[in-house]
């Protein structure tokens, strides 16, 4: 049996390779350039149409980071995993004395690294623009950005999960759907609770408790209002995301283990 240290070492080797691939294929730069452009232009556009307001800058900037970050997380996550399988680079990696779950874990950690670079760059750019505009930079902004990153990591786990059993196209569609629904769960539950139909109420309630509740990771409104949330709230959100991601990764690993590589 491999020792824990050996396993961690192999996961890091695979993670490093994923990060390196993103850098070498210029994927990372292209996405970053695009994201930064979108953040800056959305803040400038907001000023043009809605007037000068700290709240609007913060709101638009955070939304841009979350929106583009999510799209990047979904498509890069699925892209870099399906590439390994479609281009068969996975053959020699999996013919090494490693468990398949280690490959998946390495991919996940590597993608989390890619997203970290993205979020740090977008966040720095966003805060830079705020500072130039003379808007106040509050602790709540850092909390919001931190939880956006957490959401992206959760989306990556979701994308990897779907990628283990379906085509990259369908995996992309499923993850997108979960992303949308994940932000509507609160409303859905409220809607169900007011319904006369018992089964509908049951349905919305069970969806609320099983699907990833991404609104829990959303502090954008608070941060835009200049508020800083309580630490316990942030920690609960982090714990929720960590447990959910872990569950997804375990399910993904069990599906990946059974899979044939053609």
Partner 1 sequence: MSAIRLRGLSKTFRKGFWMKPMHALRGVDLSVREGEIFGFLGPNGAGKTTTIKILTGLIHPSAGEAWIGDLPVEVPESRKKLGFLPEGTFFHDHLTGLEFCEMHARLLGIPRAERRDRIRDLMVRVGLADSEAKQIRHYSKGMRQRVGLAQALLGDPEVVILDEPMSGLDPVGRREVRDLILELREQGRTVFFSSHVLADAEMICDQVAVIVAGRVVETGYLADLLGRQMGGVELVVEGLSEERWQELSRASRRSVGHGMRHLFEFSDEDTVEKALDEVRRDGGRIVSLVPARRSLEDLVVERSRSVGMR
- Which residues bind to partner 1, rule: CB under 8 A? 1-2, 6, 9-10, 13-14, 17, 20-21, 24-25, 87-89, 91-99, 258, 260-262
Closest to 148 in 3D by CA, of 123, 178, 174, 180: 123
Nearer to partner 1, 91 or 191 (CB): 91
Q: Residue 224 Cβ, how far from partner 1 at the closest point, in Å?
A: 40
Q: Residue 99 Cβ, how far from partner 1 at the closest point, in Å?
A: 5
Nearer to partner 1, 14 or 36 (CB): 14
Here the tokens at position 69 are 């970050």
The CA–CA distances, whole Å, from 168 to 84, 130, 145 equal 12, 37, 28
Nearer to partner 1, 40 or 93 (CB): 93
Q: Residue 7 Cβ, how far from partner 1 at the closest point, in Å?
A: 10
User: Longest Cα pair distance anywhere in the chain, in angstroms?
Assistant: 63
Q: Residue 173 Cβ, how far from partner 1 at the closest point, in Å?
A: 19
Cα–Cα distance, 80 to 66 (Å, whole number): 20
Q: Residue 101 Cβ, how far from partner 1 at the closest point, in Å?
A: 10
Q: Residue 252 Cβ, how far from partner 1 at the closest point, in Å?
A: 18
Nearer to partner 1, 2 or 30 (CB): 2
Closest to 79 in 3D by CA, of 209, 149, 168, 183: 168
Nearer to partner 1, 52 or 88 (CB): 88
Residues 6+ apart with CB under 8 A from 144: 62, 219, 220, 222, 223
Nearer to partner 1, 20 or 52 (CB): 20
Q: What is the 3-state secondary structure (H, E, C) of 168-190?
A: HHHHHHHHHHHHHHHCCHHHHHH
Is the separation of the CB atoms in 219 and 143 below 8 Å? Answer: yes
């Amino acid at each position: 049996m491999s020792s824990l240290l050996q396993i961690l070492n192999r996961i890091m080797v695979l993670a490093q390779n994923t990060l390196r691939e993103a850098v070498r294929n210029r994927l990372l730069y292209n996405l970053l350039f695009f994201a930064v452009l979108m953040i800056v232009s959305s803040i400038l556009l907001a000023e043009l149409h809605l007037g000068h307001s700290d709240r609007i800058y913060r709101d638009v900037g955070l939304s841009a980071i979350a929106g583009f970050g999510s799209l990047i997380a979904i498509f890069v996550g699925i892209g870099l995993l399906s590439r390994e399988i479609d281009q068969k680079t996975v053959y020699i990696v999996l013919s090494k004395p490693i468990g398949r779950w280690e490959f998946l874990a390495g991919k996940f950690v590597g993608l989390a690294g890619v997203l970290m670079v993205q979020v740090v760059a977008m966040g720095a750019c966003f805060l830079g623009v705020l500072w130039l505009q003379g808007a106040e930079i509050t602790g709540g902004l850092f909390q919001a950005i931190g939880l956006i990153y957490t959401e992206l990591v959760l989306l990556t786990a979701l994308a990897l999960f779907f990628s283990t059993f379906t085509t990259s196209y369908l995996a992309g569609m499923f993850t997108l759907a979960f992303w949308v629904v994940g932000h509507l769960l609160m409303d859905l539950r409220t809607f169900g609770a007011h319904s006369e139909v018992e089964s509908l109420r049951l349905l919305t309630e069970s969806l609320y408790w099983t699907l990833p509740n991404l609104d829990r990771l959303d502090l954008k409104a608070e941060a835009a209002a200049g508020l800083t949330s309580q630490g316990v709230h942030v920690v609960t959100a982090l714990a929720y995301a960590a447990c959910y991601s872990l569950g997804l990764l375990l399910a993904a690993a069990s599906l990946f283990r059974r899979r044939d590589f053609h």
